[in-house]
Amino acid sequence: MILVVDDLPQNVRLLEAVLTPRGYEVAVAASGDEALARLGEGGVDLVLLDIVMPGMDGYEVCRAIRADPATAFLPVVMITASGEQEKKRALEAGADDFLAKPFDHAELLARVRSLLRIKRYHDEIERYTAGLRQFLPPQVAELVKADPSVLETHRREVAVVVCALHGFAAFAETAAPEDVMGVLSAYHSAVDEAGGTLSRLAGDAVTIVLNDPLVIDDPAGEAVRLALTLRDAVWELGETWTRLGFALSPAIGVSVGHATIGRIGGDRRWEYAAVGPAPLLAERLSEVASAGQILVSQRVVAAVAGVVTSPMALALRGFEQPVAVWDLVGVE
């Protein structure tokens, strides 16, 4: 959709006569206010903007377009007189290009094609980034948008938090599907607000990685604080679920160690995941944690000052010997 903004009907008709036969859909606005209102409805891919109009002139309209995050990257071509000063002001206002009156039809079409191609590229990047935001915090998604190579396979020391719902299996066997989906929706929203990089989401078990791809100073400490935040948030949800007759509580495991991290999957579907002893240990700790319990590994206790814990040795699935773990109570 191309939005033509001009208060003179004869100018609008001329632009429509050039664009419509080439398959372009054209919308029309006769003033700056009308143009901004039409842009607020969405669906516009390019703006052809006259400068001299009653009320808001083209420069003001262009600045308003650039000030709105929803249209900040929308291509704008300003239609100017031949003066160099007008061209300079058009660029300063944020225009991507300009055409001098009277304009050449072939030149107009060439500029429209070029800017619409750029708009398609931008839209593809935005869709890609929107997909990243489903499992990465916004600041991390922006980092990946700027440099996709950060998703390539690499090795790094990370802290891993795995949060599960104690009692979920029994609940899912007997509850109505609508209740199961409602519980998971509220639970996943609470986890999403907690922060970190969502590495894996499998029903009630959620894996969060810290220190990748966004590097932080104290991953172990952040993991402990995140686990405590999650416990409180999910425990609060659990009180609501208890009133509905659902016995569900957080069960959390935390570990620190090196992992191999990167994209896992095929061309059509992939996830950003961590593989190695650290994520495996955190997962196993969440499996054996009781209702409301946070179990942490020895390296977490060693790395975080002021943690209040009690030690124990537990048999974990996949580990030949009992593993020394600590029950995290809080942080002093």
Query: Which amino acid is present at 245?
Result: G
Question: Mean of the per-residue pLDDT values for the chain?
Answer: 84
Provide mean pLDDT across the span 199-228.
86
Residues 109-129: tens digit of each pLDDT: 888 888 888 888 777 766 766
Q: What is the mean pLDDT of residues 122-144?
A: 64
How many Cα neighbours within 13 Å face the side chain of 7?
A: 12
Q: Hey, what CATH topology would domain 147-331 get?
A: Alpha-Beta Plaits (3.30.70)
Annotation: CATH topology of 2-132: Rossmann fold (3.40.50)
Residue 286 to residue 299: CA distance in whole angstroms? 16
CA end-to-end span of the chain: 59
Q: Mind giving me the DSSP string for 253-302?
A: EEEEEEEEEEEEE-SS-EEEEEESHHHHHHHHHHHH--TT-EEEEHHHHH
Check if the beta carbon of residue 158 is closer than 8 Å to that of residue 209. Answer: yes
**What single-letter DSSP state applies at residue 149?**
G
What's the burial of 28, exposed, middle or buried (CB within 10 Å: 0-12/13-18/19+)?
Answer: middle
pLDDT tens-digit map of 10-56: 888 888 888 889 888 899 988 888 889 998 888 899 999 888 888 88
DSSP 3-state assignment of 200? strand
The one-character DSSP state at 31 is: S
Domain range annotation of the chain: 2-132, 147-331
User: What Rg do the C-alpha atoms of the chain give, in angstroms?
Assistant: 28
pLDDT at residue 223, rounded to an integer:
93
Strand boundaries in the chain, DSSP class E: 2-5, 26-29, 46-50, 76-80, 97-100, 154-166, 197-202, 205-210, 249-265, 270-275, 294-297, 307-314, 323-331
Q: Do domains 2-132 and 147-331 have the same CATH topology?
A: no
Indicate the pTM of the whole model. Answer: 0.62
